[in-house]
A and B are shown apart, each in its own frame.
Chain A
């Protein structure tokens, strides 16, 4: 393996762009965690459900734009149902209870989506260009550039929404203390529906991007696992953290595979991200960008 700078940059950029795709999934987790302190195990299932619904509608002959709108509506309905059937009876329960409930939700929507739309592999083609582009000597895939742009827009909007608006402040308040939030008149239920809806829309975006790349199939639900190290690195509570965490994981694993892999007999891409996450956990359990954990005794 010889080293040359153009090649290094090509790997780096390819890695960063792949990382964006991880960030898209991680974002959904961060949203719900920020607003309810719950790790939503069902996020991967929501990605699958959103993509299946979209692809199912398109195969029924619905025009793509309308299908996207309908899929969005489906995610909002799902958020409403989850709030009503699962979260509302569990108000003021400890986070672990809510976490367990989200595992239940995962099984339900994995099964429900496939019952509704079948379990075959569907192709999703929304006409996103997928051609190699050359910048000097560096090869970049145009699909990855589109994904990066989408993620960039999504994050900017979400970050402003959370940091600068009253709803953002209400979301953070709900995350900190349910009872106190209710006492200042924050409608818990509305907030939960909003945040699960937004997480559902993010899942749809992730489902579109990943589904276009891999085909819409059950394994989409498993990409959630790849979001875990991203979250640990970036911090569960930070939207920019989810993005930067994704970029670091994406770039890190590709660079490690190409430049360190040969010395370790290869295939380190599969576990590199998890090892990186473990190291971060040892030194900075709240992640690189997460809110500091404050504990007074």
Chain B
């Protein structure tokens, strides 16, 4: 197994003004098609350090495809991605994970047979450094390391208020809690950029409020950059710093929530327009 790269162990607590607003990820003229269908058509936008960026748009606008391009599940046919000073044609999921991009999925993708704790521990895999032989023996340094990571995971469990379900196989948990565990697994990676695909879909008001609170706290306390897809416009306008609007795979707006709200093309896309 490949050795994990050394990564900044502690997330930066607060960003200096100089750092905030720097571009950390830039997508240039991304084009992605499946057979004859163009899912994404020449979309460019940037993600700035420490912000909460929302990607919105009607169903089928290419939002999830965009996230899949960012973390490397999809390889765009055209365009390039600038990340950490490197310009690439496409990302690779492993490279993305190693360099601090974590994500959740629209349809929860957890390790169903494993406990909450084990699910979160998988998020630490890349941070564990002892090699395969120590791991196979599981004593000495490897065991100590396991305990250190366990501690980090326990902090996340406290943060997300899921202490009670620590040992429960996640397949048994209700939907809202599964979403929370999935967020926990992404947080366990101590990401610089967190991609959330509809983190509040299918939740009741109370669960949504909790999830909003977690997202905001992660962003403020750890300085984590967040890119999220969400359909609840109230939530999007409340918590995001910037909004990118996609429609039929094309970017139709990009700006602050207020700018986007006032944009005629966005209103047309959402409410329909008579031609």
List the interface of chain A (C-beta within 8 A of B). 157, 160-161, 164-167, 169-170, 172-173, 175-177, 179-187, 190-191, 194, 237, 291-292, 294-296
Contact = CB atoms under 8 A, between A and B. Distances in A.
A151 B216 CA distance: 53
Contact of B110 (A164, A166, A180, A186): A180
Nearest to A182: B93
Contacts, number: 103
A184 B188 CA distance: 9
Which among B96, B113, B136, B189 has the greatest number of chain A C-beta atoms within 10 A? B113
Given A176-B111, A183-B97, A185-B97, A294 B136 contact: no
A184 B123 contact: yes
Interface in B64-81: 71, 73
17 contacts: A160-B136, A166-B128, A169-B118, A169-B122, A170-B1, A173-B111, A176-B110, A179-B73, A179-B105, A180-B110, A181-B122, A183-B71, A183-B105, A185-B93, A186-B125, A191-B1, A291-B113
Contacts of A175: 113
A160 B138 contact: yes
B113 A294 contact: yes
Interface of B: 1-2, 71, 73, 93-94, 96-98, 102-103, 105, 109-114, 118, 121-123, 125-126, 128, 132, 135-136, 138, 142, 146, 169, 171-172, 185-186, 189
A291 B125 CA distance: 23
A189 to B, nearest CB: 9
Contacts of B98: 185
Contacts of B136: 157, 160-161, 165, 167
A180 B1 contact: no
Given A183-B71, A183-B186, A294-B171, 19 more contacts: A167-B135, A169-B122, A170-B125, A172-B113, A176-B112, A176-B113, A182-B73, A182-B93, A182-B94, A182-B97, A183-B93, A183-B102, A183-B103, A184-B125, A184-B185, A185-B94, A190-B1, A291-B113, A296-B171
Contacts of B113: 172, 175-176, 237, 291-292, 294
A19 to B, nearest CB: 27
A179 B74 CA distance: 12
